[in-house]
Amino acid sequence: MEKVERLLSIIMILLKKEIVSAKEFSQLFGVSKRTILRDMEALSLAQIPIYAVHGIHGGYGIMNEYKVDKRLLSNTDLENILTALGGLERLLLSEEVEVTLRKIEAMVSGSSPKESVRLFLYDWEGRSELRQTLKECQEAIAERRLISFDYMDKNGTATKRTIEPYQLHFSEPSWYLRGFCLHRMSYRTFKIARIDHLTVEDITFTAREDGFEPGEDRYQPELVTVRALISPSIKDHFIERYGRKSLEPYDAERFLATLCVPQNGIGFQFLAGFGTNLQVVEPKLYVEEFREYLVQMVDKYS
């Protein structure tokens, strides 16, 4: 952990706790007590009102006046962050998130209710295999170092790429790397699971003057509005994705759903996943194209 990050973390903890011992800080950050002492001296020099309490139950505190004037996050804010990070722990880089969780737990009042909301995400085995790649990308972004890798796009075309990495992005259920591709000379997004033989180069780069806008290169497929008859057993999927306004009663056994899907194979895959619980009825041209897609699927097993 960088010194500046550690100093900021110390301030945040002291804003929520009365007295914290040097031993507690050293264990939390994995540094010596002498390092913590130097940190406290640095904070004092920076006009942060740190004071020391001597004795068995001694440690360090921060003036109450500073807590009242400068506190930015309430217990509820911190609990919300803790809940979100707790649910996403398996999704994100676990070591870093574990440290963050411990920091925030130390800041939340002991009298506050805990785990009023819990998040559960699938612990896909492949996600743990990608963790090393994610970590290498994260380090390269922080150190402004070029990344080279082999890439297979969705059409099966293999290329070799060298990029300036700028951002890791998660969009359910996949991780993506965004950066400036030196082969295409433009910003590109790469799916992490399609990357092989990644190498973090010794060559560093300077961020481009035009600036990187998150999501500016995000692929937006052409969408088509379709109407489909669905069974009540899958109604929840459409409420979560499209809202209740997308559904209207059709007969005693079905709802009529109006939804937008990509005008490509991805849209077909999504609809086919509902099996016999869904029947596309409009527009007619899309119905025929979807039917042809299903016929090709069946032919695989003929």
Structure tokens at 251: 């007969």
Question: In this predicted model, which residue has the larger pLDDT, 79 or 160?
Answer: 160
Which stretch, 7-11, 53-57, 170-174, 290-294, has highest mean pLDDT? 290-294
Domains 3-70 and 127-204 share a fold: no
Question: In this predicted model, which residue has the larger pLDDT, 233 or 219?
Answer: 233
With H, G, I as helix, E, B as strand and everything else as coil, classify residue 212: coil
Task: State pLDDT tens for residues 47-83.
Answer: 778 888 888 778 998 887 655 444 455 555 555 555 5
Calculate the average pLDDT of the chain.
Answer: 80
Cβ(264)–Cβ(221) under 8 Å? yes
Structure tokens at 232: 């009540």
Question: In this predicted model, which residue has the larger pLDDT, 292 or 217?
Answer: 292
Length of the chain as a residue count: 302
For residue 264, is pLDDT > 70?
A: yes
With H, G, I as helix, E, B as strand and everything else as coil, classify residue 194: helix
**Fold topology of 3-70:** Arc Repressor Mutant, subunit A (1.10.10)
- Domain locations in the chain as residue ranges: 3-70, 75-107, 127-204, 223-299
Which stretch of DSSP H or E encloses residue 218?
none
CA distance 157 to 184: 15
Cβ(82)–Cβ(105) under 8 Å? yes
For residue 251, is pLDDT > 50?
A: yes
Q: Which of 204, 207, 158 is nearest to 183 (CA)?
A: 158
At 160 the pLDDT is 96
At 190 the pLDDT is 93
21-35, 76-90, 187-201, 209-223: least confidently modelled range: 76-90
At 83 the pLDDT is 54
262 beta partners: 223
186 beta partners: 181
Task: State pLDDT tens for residues 68-125.
Answer: 444 455 555 555 555 555 555 555 555 555 565 566 556 555 545 555 555 455 556 6
Residue-wise burial string across 57-80, b where 16 or more C-beta atoms lie within 10 A, e elsewhere: eebbbbeeebeeeeeeeeeeebbe
Helices (H), the chain: 3-16, 22-29, 33-45, 64-70, 75-88, 94-107, 125-143, 235-242, 265-272, 284-299
At 290 the pLDDT is 94
Residue type, 80: N
With H, G, I as helix, E, B as strand and everything else as coil, classify residue 204: strand
pTM of the model: 0.56
Sign of the alpha-carbon dihedral angle for 146, 152, 153, 159: positive
Average pLDDT of span 137-162? 91
CA distance 25 to 27: 5
Cβ(75)–Cβ(63) under 8 Å? no
Question: In this predicted model, which residue has the larger pLDDT, 94 or 42?
Answer: 42
For residue 157, is pLDDT > 70?
A: yes
Report, in this order, helix, strand and coil percent for the chain, each rounded to 5: 45, 25, 30
Please confirm whether the linkage preceding 113 is cis (ω < 30° from 0): no
| Domain at 127-204: CATH code | 2.30.30
CA distance 165 to 137: 7
At 244 the pLDDT is 92
